[in-house]
Structure 1
Amino acid sequence: MGVYKHGLSKTRIHNLWRKVIQRCTNPKASNYHNYGGRGITISDEWRNDFLAFYHWAMSNGYEDGLSLERINVNGNYEPSNCKWIELHQQCRNKRDTKYAEINEETRPLIEWAEIYDVPYKTVMTRWYRGQRGSDLVRPSRATKVS
């Protein structure tokens, strides 16, 4: 099979596609241990055909600046498990994201911090000290003014 020229090899999306392949298939890639090393793969359809990936991306909301997210963080890079989102949203869907249940609803700690307007650092400190539930987002003690 000859080289097919699509004119996209210097684009952001082509670079992203190559990086996904590397982190899933190349044990020498710096982040392989987080992807291929854990058994995460890229579908044959995408791995073997950039244009298949490209057409999926264009018909599923790709824009420069968005990040490719695996919906199931333990799942593979494949059309049914991927979507395009803003990077700050993707940071909430990681293996090390901490969750808490408050009022029978489970959310990442960062979301609880935003909802209750409590500094995220405060919520995380409380989490690591063993506090759970509404104790994570209670208002801080008021300081006395003399």
Structure 2
Amino acid sequence: MQQQTESRLTFVEFTGEKTKDGHRLARFRCACGNEAVVSHSRVKGGYTRSCGCLAAENKPNLSHGHRRSGTYSSWQSAKDRATNPRSKDFYRYGAAGIGFAERWLVFENFLEDMGERPEGQSLDRIDGTKGYEPGNCRWATSKQQARNTKVFTVLETPLGRMPLVDYAEKIGLTRGAAHLRMKRGKLEGCRYATAK
């Protein structure tokens, strides 16, 4: 059989065994010199890329103690959206030209620049046309982020012209409820306006 190289693994042979869920096991030689017996389909699909040496090499990056923190989670999610074609949101970010600063590929650099994620906030790009990079990101509340979208709904209201999210807060509704009422024509004294 012709050898296939997937990431660091080079196909050697099928073992004749299968995983519990029916996938064929195969022996692979890793670029580091070790051999590993793993699911052939996981290697072919790109899910297994080494004998385990990649994880060991990346271990120093996890010594920051933030692996399960909200800060780390926000960093990982943003990095995936911008750099991982397998991410469900890649088409809206990385594929659309939203990059991820090379400096921030290392979590400790991101942490140094951004600090800890405050409670109730998430990572937000200040200029939505630019990528995740120092100077263009902040920790923001969902309300701040709603105002920072490319398109947001602005209303003419009895209280003056304002974003729907602000009017909803003033009258004691969630943004979703106010938006639904507006669509149904049941938000009294309000009409759509064009954002300035």
- Give the shorter-chain TM-score range: 0.5 to 0.7
Secondary structure at the residue paired with 2:135? helix
Paired residues of 1:109 and 1:124 also in contact (CA < 8 A): no
Amino acid at match of 2:84: N
Q: Alignment partner of 2:124: what SS?
A: strand
Aligned residue number for residue 88 of structure 2: 30
How many angstroms apart in 2 are the aligned matches of 1:106 and 1:41?
A: 35
Is 1:55 matched up with 2:109?
Answer: no
Conserved 8 A contact 1:70-1:83: yes
Distance across 2 between alignment mates of 1:99 and 1:122: 12
Give the alignment's Cα RMSD to 1 decimal: 3.3
TM (normalized to structure 1)? Answer: 0.66
Partner residue in 2 for 1:141 = none
Q: Judge conservation of contact 1:8–1:14 (CA < 8 Å) in 2.
A: no
Secondary structure of the corresponding residue to residue 80 of structure 1: coil
Identity of aligned residues (%): 27
Unaligned runs of at least 5 residues, structure 2: 1-56, 192-196
| Structure with a larger share of its residues in helix | 1
2:104 aligns with one of 33, 46, 58? 46
CA deviations on 1:62-113 (whole Å, 9 max, x unpaired) are 324421111122221112111112234323433342123569x763212123
CA contact (8 A) 2:164 2:178 kept: no
Q: Taking structure 1 as reference, are residues 82 and 122 closer, same or farther at Cα in structure 2, changes over 3 Å only? A: closer
What secondary structure, in the 3-state scheme, does the structure 2 residue paired with 1:91 have? Answer: helix
Alignment of 1:61-100 (within 5 A): 62-100=117-155
Deviations 1:31-52 (A, max 9, x none): 11221122111111112x2211
Cα distance in 1 for partners of 2:172, 2:119 equals 32
Consecutive unaligned residues in structure 1, runs of 5 or more: 138-146
Q: How high is the TM-score relative to the length of structure 2?
A: 0.52
Residue in structure 2 matching 1:17, options 49, 69, 75: 75
Of structures 1 and 2, the one scoring higher in RCO (CA 8 A, sep 6+) is 1
Query: What is the aligned residue count?
Result: 129
CA–CA separation in structure 2 for the residues paired with 1:129 and 1:38: 33
